[in-house]
């Protein structure tokens, strides 16, 4: 188990159905969000990039976002992205923090090619400086509360094509905030989503494949619901698709959701939630949620060091205890755990979740700005 973890040849293809004015107002609305507190978490999602500035040089196009203000004293940030599937061209995702007195350098949060053949694909090591550092897929800043700019650099493949970007998501977290215990959403109690059960231990190399196994289970579920057999991706092929040679392994969180979101009609991203009641919101709407947890804590075993694991929450029993598809089990993968165990186990990752679902699927209401709502 792992911790965590078509356009023409000149420009990337983007969805530009709205006018610049409408887009600008949309971005402002997305960033500003509700006036209520965000409770230490904030998510900004973008599906239209016409308001990004653009520059070009030989073989490369660079797009930079407007300055984004999350309205949160965040100190950790995770960027997710969804591009079209099967392209060799490279997408580099960089982010910098902007403070009133200075800006940080651009930190690289991933280099992605959806077909996995580009030798430059992977996370980037050794980015530590006085302002912050990158731990595989997460930017940690030493000073909280910056505005941000996101930079997308597209290096064309030898055929001259560049990736088509469908979605960019930015998850902000104040890791010093105390998670809020919202009232439970009891409409999810007694609800079970019949997600296929798969074990990472069924494969010779699967000991560290909890994340791709969880993604494989969720995609298989949507393949069944949508009657799309091509979404039924096997565990080994999913592991190859999400592999990060600089991790090294399959535990890079955004690589997992980027693969899921590269499939036609699908969206996938990483976010951080406040508590179990927000998982219940998604279960009540029929959407399973993959969670990054401490495996020992989930099983109620005290352990000094968190042993990271990815599981899929597929429902809750009549008493509000979570029902989990656990890829770390070989024979009995569907289990029910005490609610308190999940709370303790999930907080070790700052309540990190993979949200993977069809792009046209309606999602729960989001009064605090913790996930993407079109």
Assigned fold of 186-358: Cathepsin B; Chain A (3.90.70)
Q: What value does the mean pLDDT take over residues 324-332?
A: 96
Q: Is the pLDDT of residue 34 over 70?
A: no
> ∠ at Cα 296 (308, 184), nearest 5°?
85
pTM equals 0.89
Please give the structure tokens belonging to residue 13: 């293809």
Residue that wins the pLDDT comparison between 22 and 164: 164
Domain 20-173 has CATH 3.30.70: no
Cβ neighbours of 323 (radius 10 Å): 19
Q: What value does the mean pLDDT take over residues 239-260?
A: 96
Query: What stretch(es) of the chain map to CATH 3.90.70.10?
Result: 186-358
Distance CA 348, CA 295 (A): 10
Beta bridge partners of 95: 107, 150
Query: What stretch(es) of the chain map to CATH 2.60.120?
Result: 20-173
Could you tell me the pLDDT band of residue 370, with boundaries at 50, 70 and 90? very high
Could you tell me the pLDDT band of residue 3, with boundaries at 50, 70 and 90? very low
Cβ neighbours of 374 (radius 10 Å): 11
Could you tell me the pLDDT band of residue 351, with boundaries at 50, 70 and 90? very high
Please give the structure tokens belonging to residue 362: 């309606």
Could you tell me the pLDDT band of residue 29, with boundaries at 50, 70 and 90? very low
pLDDT of residue 180: 80
pLDDT tens per residue, range 130-171: 999 999 999 999 999 999 999 999 987 666 566 689 999 999
SS (H, E, C) the chain: CCCCCCCCCCCCECCCCCCHHHHHHHHHHHHHCCCCCCCCEEEEEECCCCCCEEEEECCEEEEECCCECCCCCCCEEEEEEEECCCCCCEEEEEEEEECCCCECCCEEEEEECCCCCCCCCECCCCCCCCCEEEECCEEEECCCCCEEEEEEEEECCCCCCCCEEEEEEEEEECCCCCCCCCCCCHHHECCECCCCCCCHHHCCCHHHCHHHHHHHHHHHHHHHHHCCHHHCCCHHHHHHHHCECCCCECCCHHHHHHHHHHCCCEEEEEEECCCHHHHHHHHHCCCCEEEEEEHHHHCCCCCCCCCEEEEEEEEECCCCCEEEECCCCCCCCEEECCHHHHHHHHHHHCCEEEEEEECCCCCCCCCCCCCCCC
Distances (CA, A) of 22 to 18, 44, 164, 178, 179: 6, 17, 22, 36, 35
Q: What percent of the chain has pLDDT over 70?
A: 87
Please give the structure tokens belonging to residue 179: 């998670």
Could you tell me the pLDDT band of residue 181, with boundaries at 50, 70 and 90? confident
Q: In whole numbers, what is the pLDDT of the chain averaged over residues?
A: 89
Residue that wins the pLDDT comparison between 117 and 343: 343
pLDDT tens per residue, range 82-112: 998 766 789 999 999 999 999 999 999 999 9
Could you tell me the pLDDT band of residue 28, with boundaries at 50, 70 and 90? very low
pLDDT of residue 224: 98
pLDDT of residue 31: 42
In this structure, the chain runs to a length of 374
Among 151, 183, 153, residue whose Cα is nearest residue 278: 183
pLDDT of residue 216: 98
Q: What percent of the chain has pLDDT over 90?
A: 79
Distance CA 297, CA 347 (A): 10
pLDDT of residue 167: 97
Among 40, 81, 67, residue whose Cα is nearest residue 148: 67
- To the nearest 10°, report the CA torsion of 338, 343, 344, 350: 150
Distance CA 328, CA 364 (A): 29
């Amino acid at each position: 188990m792992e911790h965590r973890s078509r356009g023409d040849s000149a420009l990337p293809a983007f969805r530009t159905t709205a006018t610049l004015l409408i887009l600008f107002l949309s971005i402002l609305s997305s960033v500003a969000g509700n006036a209520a507190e965000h409770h230490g978490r904030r998510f900004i999602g973008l599906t239209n990039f016409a308001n990004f500035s653009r520059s070009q040089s030989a073989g490369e196009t660079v797009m930079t976002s407007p300055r984004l203000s999350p309205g949160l004293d965040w100190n950790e940030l995770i960027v997710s992205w969804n591009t079209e599937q099967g392209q060799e061209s490279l997408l580099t995702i960089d982010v910098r923090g902007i403070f009133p007195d200075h800006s940080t350098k651009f930190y690289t949060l991933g280099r992605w090619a959806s077909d996995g053949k580009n030798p430059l694909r992977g996370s980037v090591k050794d980015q530590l400086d006085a302002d912050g550092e990158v731990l595989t897929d997460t930017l940690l800043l030493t000073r909280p509360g910056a505005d941000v700019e996101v930079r997308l650099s597209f290096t064309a493949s030898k055929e001259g094509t560049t990736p088509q970007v469908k979605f960019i998501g930015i998850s902000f977290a104040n890791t010093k905030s105390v998670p809020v215990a919202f009232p439970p959403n009891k409409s999810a109690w007694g609800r079970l989503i019949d997600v296929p059960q798969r074990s990472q231990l069924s494969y010779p190399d699967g000991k560290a494949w909890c994340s791709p196994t969880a993604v494989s289970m969720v995609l298989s579920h949507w393949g069944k619901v949508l009657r799309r057999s091509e979404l039924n991706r096997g565990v080994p092929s999913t592991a190859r698709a999400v592999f990060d040679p600089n991790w090294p392994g399959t535990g890079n969180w955004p690589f997992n959701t980027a693969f899921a979101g590269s499939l036609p009609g699908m969206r996938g991203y990483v976010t951080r939630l406040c508590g179990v009641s927000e998982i219940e919101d998604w279960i009540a709407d029929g959407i399973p949620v993959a969670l990054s947890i401490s495996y020992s804590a989930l099983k109620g075993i005290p352990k000094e060091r968190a042993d990271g694991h990815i599981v899929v929450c597929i429902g809750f029993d009549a008493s509000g205890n979570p029902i989990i598809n656990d890829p770390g089990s070989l024979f009995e993968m569907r289990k029910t755990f005490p609610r308190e165990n999940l709370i303790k186990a999930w907080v070790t990752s700052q309540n990190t979740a993979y949200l993977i679902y069809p792009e046209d699927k309606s999602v729960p209401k989001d009064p605090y700005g913790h996930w993407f709502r079109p």
